[in-house]
Amino acid sequence: MNLFGKKKTAGPPPNPGDAIIKLRGTMETLTKREAYISKKMDMMVREAKGKMARKDKNGALFALKKKKMYEAEVIKIQGAMMNLESQAMSLEGSATNMEVFGAMRTGAKAMGAMRGAMDVDKVDDLVDDIREEMDTATHISEAISTPLDGGLQDDDDLLAELDAMVEEETEAKLTQVPASLPVKPGMAETAPEPFPELPAVPTNKPVASPGLEALEGVDEEELRALKELEQSMAV
């Protein structure tokens, strides 16, 4: 029982995206604070060196103590930033997983909606119907292409018969050779004229004519002309 009033109702959980933005914003603020404190540390170091130069030992010690305090603050800021970074990465991973899960769930619903009109039995029945129709179409094609004579005439027998007919016709043409040459119309049949008789071939040896040198009373030019004529006739 709550003695101090009614218990406050918990509000709706924050959106993961808003939470990530909030974490990143806080980390940015801490980064700026870390840079500011780091500058203060550098100032304390310079101040301590200056006081030591002026022989102010107490002042130098005080500056170093402040520097150590700032160092501790920087360490705490870095630890907080590490925790925020880890939490932000976890949230981002969870948000990514949620997106993947939502996409998978949407895909599953779409597949279920598409599969609503069919199941395994219906698919099997459809495949059987398709195969039956294909077999029927094949039988119809074979029936249409079958010869109407029932295949009584074999192609090989027909080709053999055709070859025999061609061979018979060729033999008939070879036996029908004409006994005499055909006579052109308008030309009378006349006996062939006998060939003219050729002169008989001489059987006796030819008698050599006397040499041109034995001729007397012949001019030298005439003698040379006669020799050339004799040579040309010998050739």
**Amino acid at the residue 60:** A
pLDDT, one tens digit per residue, over 40-75 is 999 999 999 998 899 888 989 999 999 999 999 999
Q: How confident is the model at residue 121 (pLDDT cuts 50, 70, 90)?
A: confident
pLDDT, one tens digit per residue, over 133-148 is 999 999 898 888 776 6
* pLDDT at 28 > cutoff 80: yes
Cβ atoms within 10 A of the Cβ of 116, count? 8
Q: How confident is the model at residue 106 (pLDDT cuts 50, 70, 90)?
A: very high
Work out whether the CA dihedral 103, 104, 108, 114 comes out positive or negative.
positive
d(CA 211, CA 227): 10
Domain total in the chain? 1
Q: Using alpha carbons, select from 106, 98, 79, 77 the residue that is nearest to residue 20.
A: 98
User: Within a domain: residue 211?
Assistant: no
User: Within a domain: residue 103?
Assistant: yes
**Average pLDDT score over the chain:** 78
Domain extent at residue 67: 16-115
Q: Using the structure block, give the residue that is written with the tokens 């039956």.
A: 132
* pLDDT at 86 > cutoff 90: yes
d(CA 67, CA 76): 14
Least confident among 30-34, 164-168, 209-213: 209-213
Q: How confident is the model at residue 8 (pLDDT cuts 50, 70, 90)?
A: low
Work out whether the CA dihedral 29, 30, 31, 37 comes out positive or negative.
positive
In angstroms and rounded to an integer, the radius of gyration of the C-alpha atoms of the chain is 67
Domain with 57 in it: what CATH number? 1.10.287.1060
The set of residues, in sequence order, having a beta carbon less than 8 Å from that of 74 and lying 6+ positions away, is: 34, 37, 38, 41
Least confident among 67-76, 89-98, 108-117, 220-229: 220-229
Identify each DSSP E strand in 161-211 by its residue range: none
pLDDT above 90: percentage of residues in the chain: 35
Mean pLDDT along residues 70-86: 95
For helices 57-115 and 16-53, give the axis angle rounded to 10 degrees: 170
With residue 115 as reference, give the H or E element that holds it.
helix 57-115
Provide the pLDDT for residue 221: 74
* pLDDT at 76 > cutoff 90: yes
Provide the pLDDT for residue 17: 84
